[in-house]
Amino acid sequence: MEKRTVLHMFDPMPHVSPFDINMAVDSGFESIFTYNNVALEQVNGLVQDAIFSRGPAGVKRTGLFIGGRDLGLALNMLDIAKNAMVPPFEVSVLADPSGACTTAAALVACVEKQLRIKHGVGLEGLCGVVYGGTGPVGIATAVIASLAGVDVKIVDPFNINTALEKADEYNARCGAKLKGTYASSDADKARLIAHADIVFCTAKAGVQVLNADILGDAKQLKVAGDINAVPPLGIEGVKRMHNGEPLVHAVNSPGAVGIGSLAVGDVKYKLQHALLAYLLTAAKPVFLDFREAFERARELV
């Protein structure tokens, strides 16, 4: 009899995300086990406990998921999990803390598609600003865009040191070329948007970051994507279902278009589903983060 499929979900936070548990069920895992408050130093032991009990056929029916709210910590856990494998006792692992890898990958892929369709250009060489760029989704968005050739600034709403530290951390870790800045006033936000080709709005839910006046200062904006689905939305005039509709308030950026949270969410949902399913179907064990997520998102959009 074929063994049941099992997903072990490791999380450094007090609770594993119900969103991710639902996704795991809908992706076909029959048994799901959640581990809360997992410390980095516990990952090696937990992984080795999971790989030896089911035999070579069983490891093919077993996956690991790493959650939490901190992308750097999740990437460290992924590295430790990978190094804990003892071939042929190896299982596939997906790191997607706070949905950061899949949401960011979906957002950048949606933006790239609109750049191509509406402006005939790719990501490379453009200037991008990530408002809310120091959160988990923002930093993943910034790294993906930077590795694709965008000159990216991450924006913290209050503190330049937070932005500079995050930029340094992810440049060293991922080979990105992020710059850090802050924008605590509308004037700061307008100064940043003036020379942006792309805006990624990945700020906290329920916060309008860019109003019509600020958008009026954009001089060369091509595509703006917002992932906040909770009113007020992040960019005035960009509705949740927008996917390439004109950015009406960007009056000085002819042809600028917007992408809303549910358009991104639709891709993110399909992407996370596909990556979870891939944990069981990959020919060899795979260790998935934002890099593979972006490759797959580009195929999906």
Q: Which is nearer to ligand NAP, 108 or 209 (CB)?
A: 209
Least spacing, CB of residue 30 vs ligand NAP, in Å: 26
**What is the SS3 assignment for 6-74?**
EEEEECCCCCCCHHHHHHHHHCCCCEEEEECCCCHHHHHHHHHHHHCCCHHHHHCCEEEEECCCCHHHH
Q: How far apart are CA 51 and CA 258, in angstroms?
A: 45
Q: Which is nearer to ligand NAP, 82 or 169 (CB)?
A: 169
CB 85 within 8 A of CB 64: no
Q: How far apart are CA 281 and CA 71, in angstroms?
A: 25
Least spacing, CB of residue 194 vs ligand NAP, in Å: 18
Least spacing, CB of residue 134 vs ligand NAP, in Å: 4
Q: Which is nearer to ligand NAP, 52 or 158 (CB)?
A: 158
Least spacing, CB of residue 126 vs ligand NAP, in Å: 22
Q: How far apart are CA 257 and CA 12, in angstroms?
A: 38
Least spacing, CB of residue 291 vs ligand NAP, in Å: 18
Backbone phi and psi for residue 219, each to the nearest 5 degrees, phi listed first: -100, -20
Q: Which is nearer to ligand NAP, 129 or 209 (CB)?
A: 209
Least spacing, CB of residue 158 vs ligand NAP, in Å: 5
Q: Which is nearer to ligand NAP, 47 or 224 (CB)?
A: 224
Q: In 3D, which of 281, 273, 276 has the Cα closest to residue 300? A: 273
DSSP state of 135: S
Least spacing, CB of residue 205 vs ligand NAP, in Å: 4
Residues that bind ligand NAP (CB under 6 A): 98-99, 103, 131-132, 134-138, 156-158, 162, 202-205, 207, 209, 227-229, 261, 264-265, 268
- Residue facing ligand NAP at closest CB distance: 135
Q: Which is nearer to ligand NAP, 132 or 258 (CB)?
A: 132
Q: Which is nearer to ligand NAP, 82 or 245 (CB)?
A: 245
Q: What residue has token string 């990530």?
A: 130
Task: Output 29-34 pairs: Cβ under 8 A, ≥24 positions apart.
Answer: 29/5, 29/63, 29/276, 29/280, 30/4, 30/5, 30/6, 31/4, 31/5, 31/6, 31/7, 32/6, 32/7, 33/6, 33/7, 33/8, 33/9, 34/9
